[in-house]
Amino acid sequence: MRKIRQELPEALKKIGKEEYEFEMRLHPLIRWHWASLSRARGDYKPYKIDENIIEDLLTPRVHYFTDPENNTPKDPNYGRLSRNEAALFPNLFSWNKIAVCKITEKESIPINEFTSEQFFDAFILSQEFFEKEATLEIDFYPTINMNYLRPAGSSVCHPHLQVLTIPEAPPPLLSQVFFFGDIYKKNNDSNFFTDYIFLEKKNEERWIGMTGEGEHEVAWMTSFSPLAGRDEVMFIVESEAAFPLSERIWRGIADGFIKILNGYHEMGVRSFNMAMFSDRWKSIEHTDKFRIFGLIWSRPLRNLDSSDMGFAEIAYKIANIQNPPEKVAEVLRKTWEK
């Protein structure tokens, strides 16, 4: 914890502070990464934007996904995939091998109106996409991601997943997790992720809860040192290091995801990102030092005078956060049993 002191002119004393603190939180595994916790930044609220602007951010401008048959491309090998409301098809302008998985028929909905069944169908369809790609004899790292609404980087409001197959090398963050996970395994003769679940559950401050049962369990907690952003939640599949997953595990992930979104909504969150990481498809290489994990984090909606990403986040890879993870977990635990 480090104290900051300064002298403010009278004109700034209503919005600033003469003395405040910030905390540097070193990541428990990736030892070069740290997050900066500054409660004072969260206190700065210059104004609330007009509700009409918020409504505009939630309003679709293009309608590609309402009629996938006529308005989306199809893969030359297997066309499009569908399951109930979910539909999967190639990304129109991909920067990698990416499929889009439409989650709902509705083009824009509040995050507390998603259902577990909708996400379950979308996850199962995403895994079917990985299985199709695997038949093409491509070695890849499968990832499932989501940007919901424009503050989270979505150009299309329609709720959808971005499903990637990354060839040859893992994404940079995953590469670092493998590297430091190997060091942890050598130093402690155990798996970091299983140890982390045990310690966070015992600690209780950042612990939220479990979904699933037995070998199909998924653990949910706020991140001590967030890797991606504010109000970050981490979920870990206890038993698996690589896709594919059983339907019971996907059900647990879908159930937990809905609980988090409901808690976010009560916190005032409307826009969010998600990323889910796996070892190579069907790989057992890192089983002793890795588990499938995901990150969910909120994106600001009401204070549009300032972006939530600047030089620190982009160039230095520092997560600047305002809400203490322990406080976020406290709020989310209240909605967990609902």
Q: Which of 61, 9, 2 is nearest to 37 (CA)?
A: 2
pLDDT tens-digit series, residues 142-201: 999 999 998 898 989 999 999 999 998 999 999 999 999 999 999 999 999 999 999 999
Q: Given phi > 0 = left and psi -120 to 50 = alpha, else beta, which region is 209?
A: left
Please give the Cα distance from 239 to 248 (Å, whole number): 12
The dihedral over CA atoms of 166, 170, 171, 173, expressed in degrees to the nearest 10, equals 150
**What top-level class would CATH report for the domain 68-336?**
alpha beta
| Six token digits for residue 156 | 């299309």
List the beta bridge partners of residue 100.
89, 162
Q: What does the pLDDT average to over 262-291? A: 96
Question: What is the predicted pLDDT for the residue at 207?
Answer: 98
Question: What is the predicted pLDDT for the residue at 234?
Answer: 98
Give the burial class of 15: count Cβ atoms within 10 A of its Cβ; 0-12 exposed, 13-18 middle, 19 or more buried: exposed
Q: Which of 142, 146, 140 is nearest to 168 (CA)?
A: 140
For the chain, the structural domain boundaries read 68-336
Q: How confident is the model at residue 212 (pLDDT cuts 50, 70, 90)?
A: very high
User: What is the residue type of 294?
Assistant: G
Q: How confident is the model at residue 51 (pLDDT cuts 50, 70, 90)?
A: confident
Q: How confident is the model at residue 87 (pLDDT cuts 50, 70, 90)?
A: very high
Question: What is the predicted pLDDT for the residue at 5?
Answer: 85
Please give the Cα distance from 252 to 249 (Å, whole number): 5
Q: What does the pLDDT average to over 30-58? A: 79
Please give the Cα distance from 282 to 135 (Å, whole number): 12
Question: What is the predicted pLDDT for the residue at 21?
Answer: 86
Question: What is the predicted pLDDT for the residue at 327?
Answer: 94
Question: What is the predicted pLDDT for the residue at 287?
Answer: 95
Cα dihedral across residues 268, 270, 273, 276: positive or negative: positive
| Six token digits for residue 212 | 């699933």
Mean pLDDT over the full length of the chain? 92
pLDDT tens-digit series, residues 230-243: 999 999 999 999 99
Q: What distance, in Å, lies between the first and last C-alpha atoms of the chain?
A: 36
Q: What order do you get walking across the sheet with 81-83 strand by strand?
A: 81-83, 86-90, 97-102, 160-167, 140-148, 271-277, 293-299, 233-237, 218-222, 207-211
Q: Which of 52, 88, 108 is nearest to 271 (CA)?
A: 108
Question: What is the predicted pLDDT for the residue at 55?
Answer: 81
DSSP run (H or E) holding 69: helix 68-71
Question: What is the predicted pLDDT for the residue at 26?
Answer: 94
Q: What does the pLDDT average to over 219-239? A: 97
pLDDT at 45 over 80: no
Q: How confident is the model at residue 18 (pLDDT cuts 50, 70, 90)?
A: confident
**Contact between residue 272 and residue 151 where contact means Cβ atoms under 8 Å apart:** no
Q: Count CA atoms closer than 13 A to 91's CA, side-chain side.
A: 17
Q: How confident is the model at residue 305 (pLDDT cuts 50, 70, 90)?
A: low
Q: Are strands 19-26 and 34-37 parallel, antiparallel or unpaired?
A: antiparallel
pLDDT at 296 over 90: yes
**Contact between residue 293 and residue 143 where contact means Cβ atoms under 8 Å apart:** no
Residue 262: alpha-carbon gap to chain centroid: 15
pLDDT at 225 over 80: yes
Q: Given phi > 0 = left and psi -120 to 50 = alpha, else beta, which region is 317?
A: left
Q: How confident is the model at residue 304 (pLDDT cuts 50, 70, 90)?
A: low
